[in-house]
Structure 1
Amino acid sequence: MPLNYRESCYIAPALSPTFGRIPAAVVRAQVAAAPPSARRGTRYPQPMDDRPSRIEYQAGTSLMHQPILPSRNYRRGRPGPLRAVYNNEDRTEIMMVYHNPNISAHWGENYDRMVYIPAGYVDTDAPETESHVVQHSGSHPGRRARQLQVSPPRLSNVQE
């Protein structure tokens, strides 16, 4: 049975189900609500000056990064592995990155890009299994979440 994404989202296959899939609408809302700079007593958002060369971004040179949490806006405390990277002057261009535990043991050097999946994308190569990373519960409240295998998408089969 093919996997059909009903809403656009970001996927990080190397992460746990809690952080491995996050709706794009949640990311956009949290970036819009982020302050322009770190408030007193907080560390984020902060400039993305130390980004690895594999993280390329086109929206400008003054980049910020802000932790993204699945359930609420980040205020303080443990930031988790997800970061939104954006230009503070134009927050419509967002790139999601995450600390990938499979790249390096050094926390600051293990950023990897998350995969953006547009709404309507159908992955015919990802059979449902009970043993892989991403949780999907559909749009029905109370439906038991099941784990699905998600392979990196080939965006050639996006439903327009």
Structure 2
Amino acid sequence: MVTVVKTTVVVAGVVGLLALGVGTALYGMFTDLASAYVDPSDQTLVALGKKVYANNCAACHGAQLEGQPDWRTRQANGRLPAPPHDETGHTWHHPDAVLIAITKNGLVPGVTAPPGYVSDMPAYGKLLSDHDILAVLAYIKSSWPSKALAAQKEITQQTPQ
């Protein structure tokens, strides 16, 4: 009986340490990326982002970041068209952490979208590297006028991590 209890305690301890290690690693991955301010003045990052955007985002969000026509009007299926990422859209109203999460995970109801929200936005977390996602965001932000860029930077820096 004592051996069974000791074995159970050891196994539970090992499982607990493993879970703690995995949780710590995941927390580090997400907080490091989420806490970053994506700097659109990094021209190397912007150049990469332009290529990644053209290959993965432009089909829906437009080659010139213009979004789909009537992007504020729901389609017959109840979903909204892809919004623009230029200054006429609402992208610059969100902190970098939210934009990164949406790109990686898609629009998740109750997390990055209202509860029950359904979207055509796919998750790119398995298709694009974190660096590619940051590059796309740098490219998008590089097109914004200074006033929108300053407002978005302030929103990003004021958002708790």
Which structure: larger Rg?
2
Q: Higher strand proportion, which one?
A: 1
Same fold judged by TM-score > 0.5?
A: no
TM-score range, shorter chain: under 0.3
Q: Higher helix proportion, which one?
A: 2
